Amino acid sequence: MNTKLHIRIITLLCAAIPLSACENIALMMTPAKKAQTSHTALAEKARNTFWDTLHKGNYNGLSETTKFLTAAYLENPNDPELAAFLGFSHIWRITERQRLTNAPSTIVDEMILSQKYFTDAVELNPSDPRYQGFLGDAITASGTIFHDQRQQVRGYFKLKHAISMWPEFNYFTAGYIMSSLDYNSEQFKEGLDWQWQTMDLCAETRVSRQNPDYSSFMHLETTHGRKRVCWNSWIAPHNFEGFFMNMGDMLVKQGDWRTAVKIYKNAKLSKTYSSWPYRDMLESRIKNAEHNVANFRNAALRGRDKVIMFNSGYGCAACHQK
């Protein structure tokens, strides 16, 4: 329908009813955006640039990558994948802001943009649980940044919904962002419990909380189905190693550094551990686990070996860089 005619019809219908009712009618009569994958040269370049930047851990290349993605999305603002890539690019920029010598206060705008693009991705493709999980992260983080408790609650329940859709993926996604919270908070404790539940799902049994040796579960490695996210993949070449480094960090922050060392050592079971760019970070953590209890609780500290993985400046690259 012609846009002007559409608005004219709504105006006539709403003449005799309250404004709030009119708004609801107008929204019901207005068609939603429909997902449409873009195959233009610009879109393909944007996608390839995104993956190349991510797999190289090229934080300094994010501006150029975001430029291509934004141009491609403006060309076709109905492509959920391009929207999600933009959401991830913006959340990557703020997550690894510790790489910047002096991060400007405007860095928080990256989270606002991330939330906008993940919202688009979910609206265009609500069946993708990855988009749901990242949107929950963005909403939760925005609520934390701006001290908006209602937004934090909305983000929490969005994450719970995402977990119900794909627990193997979103228990980690949801718990990871909570690793930055105070170790005494209920949210941090729940986030750590979600890491244990991820392990249980991936191991297909309850893993020992006292001796969480993962070596007997390595034969379950797969590149197919829902369990593929438990292991390394083309998308996240060192997902396995990154998962155990983060979980170890959360245990250290909790104060259980002895169990954390056992969790850290599971990362070494990966076939690609020797090529992991961040193995030195893990080795340092194993060596300094007891001392890091105080370090990881001190929000004022900087330096990738004295803070949790999420705040290290390599919170995305640790899993995604080749």
| Position 2 pLDDT exceeds 90 | no
pLDDT at 9: 55
Supply 151's token pair. 């937004």
Supply 12's token pair. 């006539």
pLDDT at 11: 60
| Position 167 pLDDT exceeds 60 | yes
Buried b (16+ CB within 10 A) or exposed e, 278-307: bbebbeebeeebeebbebbbeeeeeebebb
| DSSP string computed for 79-140 | -HHHHHHHHHHHHHHHHTGGGSSS--GGGGHHHHHHHHHHHHHHHH-TT-HHHHHHHHHHHH
Q: What is the pTM of this model?
A: 0.91
Range of lowest pLDDT (10-24, 70-84, 299-313): 10-24
pLDDT at 303: 86
Question: Which has the higher per-residue pLDDT, 265 or 299?
Answer: 265
Task: Compute the average pLDDT of residues 306-316.
Answer: 96
How much is the mean pLDDT over the chain?
Answer: 93
The one-letter amino acid at 167: P
The Cα-based distances of 25 to 28, 29, 30, 31, 141 in angstroms read: 5, 6, 9, 12, 33
| Position 19 pLDDT exceeds 80 | no
| Position 25 pLDDT exceeds 80 | no
